[in-house]
Amino acid sequence: MINMPAETGTLKDGTPESRTGPWRSLWQRMRTNRSVLIGGGFLLLLILVAVFGPLLTHYDPSKVDYSTKFLKPSAAHWFGTDHNGRDIFTRVIHGMRLTLSVGFISVMIGAAFGIVLGIISGYYGGKWDTIIMRITDVMLAFPGILLALAIVSALGKSLFNVIIAVSIFSVPTFARIVRGSTLAVRKLEYIDAMRTLGASDSRIIFRHILPNITSPIIVQATLRIAVAILTASGLSFLGLGAQPPTPEWGAMLNDGRSYITEHPHVALFPGLSIVIVVIAFNLLGDGLRDALDPKLKK
Amino acid sequence: MLIYTIRRLLQTIPVIIGVTIIVFLLMHLIPGDAAQAIIGEGAPREQVEQIREKLGLNDPLPVQYWNYVSDLLRGDLGDSIRSNRPIADEIFKSRFWITVELAVYSTILAVFLGITAGIISAVKKSTPADIGVMIVALFGLSMPNFWLGLMLIQYFAVDFGWFRPSGWGDWSQTVLPVVTLGTGGAAIIARMTRSSMLEVISQDYIRTARAKGVRERIIIYRHALKNAMIPVITVIGLEFGGLLGGAVLTETVFAVNGLGRYVIDAIRARDFPVVQATVLVMSLMFVLVNLLVDISYRYFNKRIDFD
């Protein structure tokens, strides 16, 4: 771990890496990082479940059948059934798609806007930097889930609006991080040299800045998906997101709340599923941070 | 110090103005006719018109904002559409104080648990104790607090009957919401304390102290901890925000009549002025707490130069 390159990512001139290039050493570090392996493996499994899971079960996630109401977990119904007699395992599996999609989509939208704003702020500086940073200050002044909550309350309750709200909620964090990394790269001498040689701003940004700031963006995006999933399921739990009978986990918890005293399994499994998915993203994010940012190495 | 305090205060002003602008604009984010949306489809035209007039929606936007801010400066948060009573009265009668209590107790719990666990983890690095603490912290960080609340109610209030499942007031109602809300913060503070401690412990001056033969206990508590706490304090300030946001969910789960439950009830009743007022008050609380954290941080660490 002595000859660690200062920046990870592509080589600075963009040539394909040699066998000992940064991508390779990055891969080495990721492969030997336990958190990346466990978190990433776990996540892969969860994605497979989301894609192929519905094939594992022959129950209908939303068909109501009162004759099978509140069955305890058994061989026929692994997670039991809910107040409408629906198989909870089936609903949880279908909910996996929703949860992962909401997490990925909202963070991708939030990251896209955040990266653009962060680069403008960090690369051009000056007036735009001041304006953009003041706006992020204001957005970050809303505590936790509250900004997303306020936006959904105005737009109206739906899973789509939750995605919009959570995306907006993610923008300032990305803008901040990208700005910081952009500033650090921009100050490097070779960027000055490129400019002196007449490289255009867009060439510098796309060929040199962006590749050099991918690591913090990837780390942030991974950890942020965890936050996005918690926020989105929280909003659905409050009745502002996915509406019944959609098998969204937060909505399932809200739906099953009234029966929890008599039938705890109704709330146990959707909640555990959220925990497991969020742990996978947090583990992967932690591991990636250690692997991608050698300076932070313990 | 005084100059720093004044400058920090001045920096807060544009943030507060920005917050009022966003909260004000929320009403205009409502798709279609806001007055119609608030009173509901199918309401008589006169009633919609009445609401529109009452909320001043007929005025040009800058005039509306001006009226909104001048009302705020007089301590007027508007009237609830549902009850027709001043929102400020409702908020500051008890709700505000309940949420403050909930947030403060949870912060104390989070700080105490988090710092203790973080120190144990750092001092016993790579032992089963460290790994155990970090696994628990990972769970704490990844658990939705509304689900944790439901589970705590199920086991500790319903099954064991140790606590009451809802409300706020005596200790038997306070413990579960505070644990629910404090857990996430405790996990984050534990992780931060651990990494900060590990970084400090690896520094030269600690090695020097060890070489001099200073006892390990004194090294940890007198030398390392003090410096390791610097980044942790910032996290505590920021976590207070997460906690206020989390209070919305926790209060809903435990039927605590604080600000969080007020905003949810208001959203359900489409009482939009209440939503705006509550979001504003909670954000201002967060801004104020961070201001205090920053200033005290500076006060305790005079050697840090911020600019």
Tens digits of per-residue pLDDT, B209-260?
888 888 888 888 878 888 888 888 888 888 888 888 899 999 999 999 999 9
Q: Give how far B29 is from chain A: nearest CA, Å.
A: 6
- The DSSP secondary-structure symbol of B86 reads B
CATH code: domain of residue B274? 1.10.3720.10
Residues B165 and B66 in one domain: no
Quick one: which of B213, B289, B225, B201 has its CA closest to B15? B289
CB contact under 8 A, A144 and B242: yes
Terminal CA-to-CA distance of chain B, rounded, Å? 13
Q: Judging by beta carbons within 10 Å of its beta carbon (0-12, 13-18, 19+), is residue B9 exposed, middle or buried? A: exposed
Identify the three-state secondary structure at position B79: strand
Chain A positions in Cβ-Cβ contact with residue B188 (cut-off 8 Å): none
Chain B positions in Cβ-Cβ contact with residue A267 (cut-off 8 Å): 147, 150-151, 154
CB contact under 8 A, A142 and B268: no
Per-residue three-class SS string for chain A: CCCCCCCCCCCCCCCCCCCCCHHHHHHHHHHCCHHHHHHHHHHHHHHHHHHHHHHHCCCCCCCCCHHHCCCCCCCCCCCCECCCCCEHHHHHHHHHHHHHHHHHHHHHHHHHHHHHHHHHHHHHCHHHHHHHHHHHHHHHCCCCCHHHHHHHHHHCCCHHHHHHHHHHHHHHHHHHHHHHHHHHHHCCHHHHHHHHCCCCHHHHHHHHHHHHCHHHHHHHHHHHHHHHHHHHHHHHHCCCCCCCCCCCHHHHHHHHHHHCCCCCHHHHHHHHHHHHHHHHHHHHHHHHHHHHCHHHCC
Chain B positions in Cβ-Cβ contact with residue A142 (cut-off 8 Å): 19, 22, 245, 279, 282-283, 286
Quick one: which of B98, B66, B82 has its CA closest to B261? B98
d(CA A15, CA A19): 12
Residue B81 lies in a domain: no
Residue B240 lies in a domain: yes
Please write the tens of the pLDDT for every residue from B162-218: 888 888 888 888 999 999 999 999 999 999 999 999 888 888 888 888 888 888 888
Residues 6+ apart with CB under 8 A from B301: B230
Q: What angle do CA A290, A139, B258 make, to 5 degrees?
A: 100
Q: Chain-wide mean pLDDT for chain B? A: 88
- Mutation pick from B27, B147, B156 vs chain A, by most beta carbons of A within 10 Å, is B147
Identify the three-state secondary structure at position B139: helix
Quick one: angle between helices B128-142 and B171-201, nearest 10?
130
* Whether residue B306 has pLDDT greater than 80: no
What band does B42 get if pLDDT is binned at 50, 70 and 90? Answer: confident
Residues B155 and B273 in one domain: yes
Residues B271 and B124 in one domain: yes
pLDDT of residue B269: 87
Chain A positions in Cβ-Cβ contact with residue B146 (cut-off 8 Å): 234, 237, 250, 253
pLDDT of residue B8: 86
Residues 6+ apart with CB under 8 A from B176: B149, B152, B153, B156, B157, B163, B165, B254
Q: Could you say which of B73, B90, B115 is where a domain stops?
A: B73
Give the nearest partner residue to A156 out of B18, B26, B31, using CB atoms. B31
Q: CA A245 → CA A83, A84, A159, B166, distances in Å?
A: 12, 10, 12, 27
Q: CA B114 → CA A39, A111, B211, B218, distances in Å?
A: 23, 30, 30, 21
d(CA B137, CA B192): 11
> With an 8 Å Cβ cutoff, is A108 touching chain B?
no
Q: Give how far B46 is from chain A: nearest CA, Å.
A: 23
Task: Answer with the residue of higher pLDDT: B113 or A202.
Answer: B113
d(CA A114, CA A110): 6
Please list the pLDDT of chain A residue by residue as tens digits (298 residues): 334 444 444 444 444 444 556 666 667 777 778 888 888 898 999 999 888 877 877 777 777 777 777 777 877 777 777 777 788 888 888 889 999 999 999 999 999 999 999 999 999 988 999 999 999 999 999 988 999 999 999 998 899 999 999 999 999 999 999 999 999 888 888 888 888 888 888 888 888 888 888 888 999 999 999 999 999 999 999 999 888 888 899 988 888 888 887 888 888 889 999 999 999 999 999 888 888 865 544 3
Residues B149 and B278 in one domain: yes
Residues B121 and B196 in one domain: yes
Identify the three-state secondary structure at position B135: helix
Residue B87 lies in a domain: no
Q: Which residue has the tokens 């301590």?
A: B75
Residue B307 lies in a domain: no
Residue B121 lies in a domain: yes
Chain A positions in Cβ-Cβ contact with residue B275 (cut-off 8 Å): 150, 153
Residues B35 and B116 in one domain: no
CB contact under 8 A, B142 and A268: no
d(CA A201, CA A124): 9
Determine the structural domain holding residue B191 and report its residue range.
99-300
As its CATH architecture, domain A68-296 has: Orthogonal Bundle (1.10)
> With an 8 Å Cβ cutoff, is A230 touching chain B?
yes
* CB-CB contact of A39 with A284 (8 Å): yes
Task: Answer with the residue of higher pLDDT: B297 or A194.
Answer: A194
pLDDT of residue B148: 94
Q: How far is CA B99 from the centre of its chain?
A: 9
pLDDT of residue B147: 93
Residues B34 and B174 in one domain: no
> With an 8 Å Cβ cutoff, is A132 touching chain B?
no
Q: What is the pTM of this model?
A: 0.89
Chain A positions in Cβ-Cβ contact with residue B243 (cut-off 8 Å): 143-144
CB contact under 8 A, B245 and A144: yes
Residue B78 lies in a domain: no
d(CA A271, CA A251): 11
pLDDT of residue B302: 61
Quick one: which of B246, B160, B117, B305 has its CA closest to A148? B246
The CA R_g of chain A, rounded to the nearest whole Å, is 22
Residues 6+ apart with CB under 8 A from A150: A142, B23, B26, B275, B279
Residues B208 and B150 in one domain: yes
What band does B130 get if pLDDT is binned at 50, 70 and 90? Answer: very high
Tokens of B41: 């489809």
Residues B11 and B149 in one domain: no
CB contact under 8 A, B286 and A283: no
Q: Give how far B287 is from chain A: nearest CA, Å.
A: 6
Q: Which residue has the tokens 């492969």?
A: A31
Residue B306 lies in a domain: no
pLDDT of residue A17: 43
Residues B164 and B57 in one domain: no
* Whether residue B303 has pLDDT greater than 70: no
**Closest chain B CA to residue A285:** B138
**Closest chain A CA to residue B16:** A138
Give the domain ranges of chain A.
68-296
> With an 8 Å Cβ cutoff, is A267 touching chain B?
yes
Q: State the total domains in chain B.
A: 2
